[in-house]
Amino acid sequence: MQLDDMKQTWTGHGANFERSLAINECLLREMLLRKVRSAFVPFQVLRLLEVAFGIATIVAAMTVLSNHFTDPRYLMIAGGLSVIAWYVTGLCAYLWYETATIDYADPVTALQRHIERIRLAEYRAFKWALLLGIIAWLPIALILFEALTGIDALARVNLAWLIGNMLFGFLCLGIGQVLARRYVERTDLTPWGRRLVETLSDHAVRSATQHLTELAQFDRNE
């Protein structure tokens, strides 16, 4: 075999190898991205259920408020609960939107940044749901009970006790917000803060992060 023929044969083998490698990378990318997409299905369903519960809470609060619109107690409690429910529901809807609009054709690094935004948004949604929930857990129970039964439950609760519970909730909100801004919500996130955010992440977010990390190791375009 002549040298030119050997070079041509070697070039052909190299081209076949590159083509086979590209096909394998494409199949690997499709497999891992399919796992990412599947992992977010229950996540999206849960967010939609949270949005539905939030809307139901808002409707119940506004219904009760419309029946006692001249009562300052109802105006403060039911009105404030509506604002809180709108905010938390909006955060849940944003999380659903962020996962539903992922463009899986993007490069791996872009997908990883998108997942990181989802992780941070999920942390903020959890933080506000927890801190605002400490304030609103009693009003939510009373308003929903009154909306379902028609009994004036809120009017029968001792006003001083109710205000005391809410003031304690606002105190926890202030402390929690200060701690979050000092240790977690900062540009130079500490290892402890990062571990906390990752721990609070949903299983879908952790799975997506792992699959994308695996994909980044084999993606030659990154």
pLDDT digits (tens, 9 = 90+) for 38-63: 888 888 999 999 999 999 989 988 88
Q: Quick one: 208 exposed, middle or buried, by C-beta within 10 A (0-12, 13-18, 19+)?
A: buried
Is the pLDDT score of 27 beyond 90?
Answer: no
Average per-residue pLDDT for the chain? 79
Sign of CA dihedral 101, 104, 105, 106: positive
pLDDT digits (tens, 9 = 90+) for 154-195: 777 777 887 888 888 889 889 988 888 887 777 666 677 777
Cβ atoms of residues 211 and 30 within 8 Å: no
pLDDT band at residue 144 using 50, 70 and 90 as cut-offs: confident
- Report pTM: 0.73
How far, in whole angstroms, is CA 73 from its chain's centroid?
33
Is the pLDDT score of 28 beyond 80?
Answer: no
Is the pLDDT score of 9 beyond 60?
Answer: no
Token reading at 129? 């749901």
How far, in whole angstroms, is CA 185 from its chain's centroid?
16
pLDDT digits (tens, 9 = 90+) for 96-114: 999 988 888 888 888 888 8
pLDDT band at residue 11 using 50, 70 and 90 as cut-offs: low
For residue 38, the model assigns a pLDDT of 85
SS3 (DSSP) at 2 = coil
